[in-house]
Structure 1
Amino acid sequence: MTTDSPGILLVLDGWGHAPPGPANMISQAATPHLGALAAGHPATLVRASGDAVGLLPGTVGNSEIGHMVIGAGRPLPYDSLLVEQQIASGRLAGNELLTRTCARLAEGGRALHLIGLCSDGQIHAHVEHVRELLRVAAAIGVRAVWIHAITDGRDVADGTAAAYLSHVEKFAAEAGVGRIASVVGRGYALDKSGDLELTRSAALAMADGVGARVAHALEAVDGAERGDVWVEPSVVVDAGDMPVGTVGDGDAVLFTNFRSDRIQQLADFLVEHLTSRHVTVLSLARYDTRAAIPPLVDRADASGGLADELERHGSRSVRIAESEKFEHVTYYLNGRDARARQVEDHVKIVGEVSPDYLTRPEMNLPLVVDAVAEAAARRDVALVAANLANIDVVGHTGDAAATLLAVQHTDDAVGRICAAARGTGRWVLLVGDHGNAEQMSRPGDDGAPRPYGGHTTNPVPLILVPAPGRGSSGRLRADGTLADVAPTILALLGFPPGAAMSGRSLL
């Protein structure tokens, strides 16, 4: 270890700040440890959404951009922002890869298949991007565009899928081309747990027309018993009970999600499944897939961040998280750099019991705490970086009672981790990556509150617990963003900020 001031970074996923109220499960929960830390140590609020982190103004934060900006030490133009800029400038409409593909389809009478999440949550996708792609295809003369809609219910309120499908139908009518050919919930299509049976059922509905038969797309979501997330893979059929939009030889598939992690399992499956059909496969933004899928819009450079600086100084870090957030403290915190670093140890926490967030809101938090304590006791480790996933993962269920328990379990874990830090002479920096559990309802169309499990634009808390004997470290700046976290960590470790970092230490 090349520092005499080692520490622990704790990212409390979904830990946002809002005024106390009945929908704020963070204020409703019993949090004696977090309360005492905030009252007795330097604390501040930092911005974690919108242009503060590289998103469009007013856009909710998310775990991917949150961890990337924490690691990069600067705002990063997120993939959604880059797509929006391409649309606004007209560059997407003139994109050579897109126009060449559409021209081939138009000339050969082949079809374009658009596959993606149909909502405006701006976490993984934005339904308005489908509108622009339909316009481009129509202008070039593509006569058949089939839309394979993935319903949401997680990044937006549950029960809104029908409204978004209606939006898509309106976009198709405006463009004069396009029709929804299949509908499937994101629980099937955007699985990232490795359950290929879920992925297979979604892919076969899209590619081969295998699934529940419906005469109209809206029938697929009518009375969906498990909500929008688990809409059964459904295929729109014609009067002769034949699927209207299967993927044929020589067609093209364009994935419209701009975020990679949830779509890549489906994308890889479909690329392999469609190999013999000579299908062109594209993505709106760059994906981290096994298959080489050309993107229409490339991503921002996120190098020169915390991981690169720790490597440059020869300082070892240990990254710890449950499987749901493991990539966030490794791949995303490292600037979307997947290479193995000799100064990093990665500890993925996988429990013996399948996750059921409503009945087990504690998830595998005890195992995370044990792993953090074990890493903190190592004298060769300068930084332990861990994600406590519960507040966000359980918050996404929209179940306020379970989320309240998740907050309380997280508070208990924070207390135990801080005790381990005291025993090993470490400072602890706690920060949220985006808001979630502080806003568990939103007004419906009638003004009445409706359960909400999505992210927010609220600021997130940041608390510094100094190492034993180091004093209070004074106050923290009040105008910070997530981009200031990496420079703060480097300052605590005794290192200067990286040359690529525009963020400033909060100390």
Structure 2
Amino acid sequence: MAKPVLLVVMDGVGFSKTGLGDAVTLANTPTLDRLLRECPNTRLKAHGDAVGLPTDDDMGNSEVGHNALGCGQIYSQGAKLVNESIESGKMYQSEAWKELVDNCKANNSTLHFIGLLSDGNVHSNIKHLFKMLTEAKNEGIKKARVHILLDGRDVPATSAPIYIEQLESFLKELNADGAFDGKIASGGGRMKVTMDRYQADWPMVELGWKTHVKGEGRQFASAMEAVETYRKENDGIIDQDLPAFVIAENGEPVGKIVDKDSVILFNFRGDRAIELSMAFDDDDFTAFDRGAKPDVCFAGMLQYDGDLKLPARFLVNPPEITNTLTEVLVAAGLNEYAVSETQKYGHVTYFWNGNKSDKFSEELETYKEIPSDNVSFDQRPWMKSAEITDDLIEVIKSKKYDFIRCNYPNGDMVGHTGSLDSTIIGVEAVDLGLSRLIKVCDEYGVTLVVTADHGNADEMLEKNKKGEVQVRTAHSLNPVPFIIYDKEVKYTIKDDTKYAPGVPTKYGLANVAPTIVKMLGLTAPDCWQESMI
């Protein structure tokens, strides 16, 4: 019988190419260093076409990363999926788009757009917004309002004015003939307003509801004025942390969302879009008091949760991911276990299982969520790494499971704060967890596989166009580790080209599932990528 396999995903831990702000190398990581020195290992591509994104300029993220890790295949994702739908015109032929437009035309009402204003290609792309605004005008929409969430996380930390300027210029062109009235209506930083995930901070979403829907909040004449004012008042603040703002004329908000309006949430990534979708869609919503809920036609860019049918109306069909690793294991009658803390629990479950909330087998799948701390993670960079490790040790000792997976969020979540010192501590906490796991894997005959879903902690500084070094809070384009530790069984990674600058990695994240299946003595589906061993 094959040995059990434990897969550890060190979220946001890659190999730096620049050495700038490389918290992974700066951290004291004797366990990771030993594994890389003594064990079979290679480097995996975790961005661009390796995870279904349009180009190699597109950074990977935890969602597409866990999709690829969990299904052994590469599907068109995020920006690429939406790009294909927009360029083909398929989006504008969808029932959802037609309903949104027809509703506005029939009621002479406003079409609202809510979403992350950037070209980071992780949650959204400003080009999609521009194309939809253009099409809306072409189809006879008279009035549009845009509610902008400022990034500074997947793009440079203080780049919001660039995107605001682009949007203002674009709207000015659309408005020039007098047949269209497009304006920015409200906004705020993505980590302060609207874009919570995993129901960890509903007050964020409530603030977004009050800001975008009710038009309640501090008023400014323009988005640029809001950003400039908040920066003067809060020294060193970055875009993702900017407070909420409402654009007003003569003391009145320019873009409340009211009865008979249409609303598009134009983010394509699901985790930080689900809660606002619930607020618009759910009749029995109880997370906060919405007040008088406007009767609107609401749609998401994608359906963010297929099992919950959320939202009910969406513009682009998500990738239909089938033949996942979990399906293969269930068919073979193997028991599996998944654990992480709140921030990444959805990644080892929902995203891992091909964007599905329900289990394939209640009997064979066991999942555990460890509640995350509700604080900024630079203040508590160890996060729940000790608790995750404690849980894994008990699970291994139970001898119940054939495949166990976990996610340590530290490298990503602490990395996103921009604090290099805190991220170093976060990486060291993960390394300590690995050292504890190795001991129990040795004792109970478990094969340990260590990888990551994308880079982040490995590149926390960057040079701007002036050559000045500045804080970087976005994911990196760097390769990530893949390591096999087993004190009894010798594995060989086949056809491996050792990574060097300019030399592409042979394998990507989608090669992990086929490798695990081979370790477990199973046959991979024909549609999968190849095994690395």
TM-score, length-normalised on structure 2? 0.90
1:201 — aligned with what? 207
Q: Distance in 1 between matches of 2:71 and 2:141?
A: 41
Q: Distance in 1 between matches of 2:408 and 2:200?
A: 21
Q: 2:357 aligns with which of 320, 338, 354?
A: 338
Give per-residue Cα distances to partners, 1:42-67, cap 9 Å, x unaligned. 01011111111111112100000000
1:162 — aligned with what? 161
Q: Distance in 2 between matches of 1:235 and 1:290?
A: 31
Task: Give the stretch that moved more between structures: 107-116 or 483-492.
Answer: 107-116
**Alignment of structure 1 residues 132-281 onto 2, 5 Å:** 132-176=131-175, 177=180, 178-187=182-191, 188-192=193-197, 193-222=199-228, 223-224=230-231, 225=234, 226-238=237-249, 240-272=250-282, 273=290, 277-281=294-298
Structure 2 residue 15 is the aligned partner of structure 1 residue 17: yes
1:310 shift after superposition: 0.6
1:262 maps to a residue whose letter is R
1:506 — aligned with what? 532
Give per-residue Cα distances to partners, 1:54-82, cap 9 Å, x unaligned. 11112100000000101110111113211
Q: Distance in 2 between matches of 1:91 and 1:38?
A: 47
Task: Give the stretch that moved more between structures: 308-317 or 27-36.
Answer: 27-36
1:173 shift after superposition: 2.2
User: In the superposition, relative to structure 1, how do residues 253 and 420 fare at CA in structure 2: closer, same or farther (>3 Å)?
Assistant: same
Structure 2 residue 398 is the aligned partner of structure 1 residue 378: yes
Give per-residue Cα distances to partners, 1:103-160, cap 9 Å, x unaligned. 4413431110000010111111111111001101110121110001111122222211
Q: Distance in 2 between matches of 1:477 and 1:344?
A: 33
Structure 2 residue 95 is the aligned partner of structure 1 residue 69: no
2:299 maps to a residue whose letter is L
Give per-residue Cα distances to partners, 1:256-314, cap 9 Å, x unaligned. 00011101112212345498533101111112267543111001111211000010011
Matched-pair contact (CA < 8 Å) for 2:151–2:157: yes
1:117 maps to a residue whose letter is L
1:314 maps to a residue whose letter is G
1:214 shift after superposition: 0.7
1:402 — aligned with what? 422
Q: Distance in 2 between matches of 1:279 and 1:213?
A: 24
Size of the alignment, in residue pairs? Answer: 501
Q: 1:483 aligns with which of 483, 486, 510?
A: 510
Structure 1: gaps (5+ residues)? none
Q: Distance in 1 between matches of 2:350 and 2:425?
A: 29
**Alignment of structure 1 residues 23-62 onto 2, 5 Å:** 23-58=21-56, 59-62=58-61
1:227 shift after superposition: 2.6
1:12 shift after superposition: 0.8
SS at match of 2:90: coil
1:296 — aligned with what? 315
1:21 shift after superposition: 2.2
RMSD (Å) for aligned C-alpha atoms: 1.8
SS at match of 1:483: helix
Give per-residue Cα distances to partners, 1:353-380, cap 9 Å, x unaligned. 5333112211111111111111111222
TM-score, length-normalised on structure 1? 0.95
1:505 maps to a residue whose letter is S
Q: Distance in 2 between matches of 1:122 and 1:373?
A: 37
Matched-pair contact (CA < 8 Å) for 1:111–1:145: yes
1:15 maps to a residue whose letter is V
Q: Distance in 2 between matches of 1:67 and 1:399?
A: 25
Matched-pair contact (CA < 8 Å) for 1:86–1:92: yes
1:234 shift after superposition: 1.1
1:348 — aligned with what? 369
1:445 shift after superposition: 3.5
**Alignment of structure 1 residues 416-435 onto 2, 5 Å:** 416-435=436-455
1:95 shift after superposition: 3.9
1:447 shift after superposition: 1.7
2:532 maps to a residue whose letter is L
User: In the superposition, relative to structure 1, how do residues 269 and 290 fare at CA in structure 2: closer, same or farther (>3 Å)?
Assistant: farther
Q: Distance in 1 between matches of 2:376 and 2:270?
A: 24
SS at match of 2:91: coil
Percentage of identical aligned residues: 29
Matched-pair contact (CA < 8 Å) for 1:304–1:499: no
Structure 2: gaps (5+ residues)? 283-289, 498-505
User: In the superposition, relative to structure 1, how do residues 229 and 444 fare at CA in structure 2: closer, same or farther (>3 Å)?
Assistant: same
SS at match of 2:64: helix
Q: Distance in 2 between matches of 1:65 and 1:401?
A: 28
**Alignment of structure 1 residues 415-494 onto 2, 5 Å:** 415-466=435-486, 468-473=487-492, 477-478=496-497, 479-494=506-521
Matched-pair contact (CA < 8 Å) for 1:373–1:420: yes
Structure 2 residue 340 is the aligned partner of structure 1 residue 321: yes
1:498 shift after superposition: 2.3
Give per-residue Cα distances to partners, 1:328-384, cap 9 Å, x unaligned. 011111111221322111111125x53331122111111111111111112221011
1:175 shift after superposition: 2.7
Q: Distance in 2 between matches of 1:212 and 1:379?
A: 57
Matched-pair contact (CA < 8 Å) for 2:342–2:371: yes
Q: Distance in 2 between matches of 1:37 and 1:476?
A: 20
User: In the superposition, relative to structure 1, how do residues 396 and 389 fare at CA in structure 2: closer, same or farther (>3 Å)?
Assistant: same
